[in-house]
Amino acid sequence: GNSVTQMEGPVTLSEEAFLTINCTYTATGYPSLFWYVQYPGEGLQLLLKATKADDKGSNKGFEATYRKETTSFHLEKGSVQVSDSAVYFCALNAGTDSWGKLQFGAGTQVVVTP
């Protein structure tokens, strides 16, 4: 079946450090890939997405590239801020037969200290 694996947290960084969160997936066909972010006490919101191989999603200084050859969608940001402290979820949607079902990774908590 389909699955998403992402690195365990918490990841603790100093402000302005480089952030990478690894995400790999298993899926048949051509899934769409997403990064969602959950700030403390809030619901999830889309950070970025990519819907086909080699697409790069980007938003708020975050980037991730859909790599079909390595089945990966790693999230990166060049210089984090305290306000980036949150839980980050990698997710996939397997396509038209999945009725929109999102399959999530376990989430990675990121803590950015001043």
Partner 1 sequence: DTAVSQTPKYLVTQMGNDKSIKCEQNLGHDTMYWYKQDSKKFLKIMFSYNNKELIINETVPNRFSPKSPDKAHLNLHINSLELGDSAVYFCASSPYRGRGTDTQYFGPGTRLTVL
Q: Which is nearer to partner 1, 42 or 69 (CB)?
A: 42
Considering the complex, state which of residue 49 and residue 77 has its C-beta at the smaller distance from partner 1: 49
When the beta carbons of 46 and 53 are compared against partner 1, the nearer one is: 46
Under rule CB under 8 A, residue 51 binds partner 1: yes
According to DSSP, the residues that pair with 108 across neighbouring strands are 88
The residue type of 48 is L
Cβ at position 40, least distance to partner 1 in Å: 12
**How many other C-beta atoms are found inside a 10 Å radius of the C-beta of residue 3?**
12
DSSP character at residue 68? T
Q: Give bridge partners of residue 111 from the DSSP assignment.
A: 12
Identify residue 75 by its one-letter amino acid code. L
31 binds partner 1 (CB under 8 A): yes
Q: Per the structure block, which two tokens stand in for 18?
A: 């480089």
Positions that interact with partner 1 (CB under 8 A) = 31-32, 34, 36, 38, 42-46, 49, 51, 87, 89, 93-104, 106-107, 109
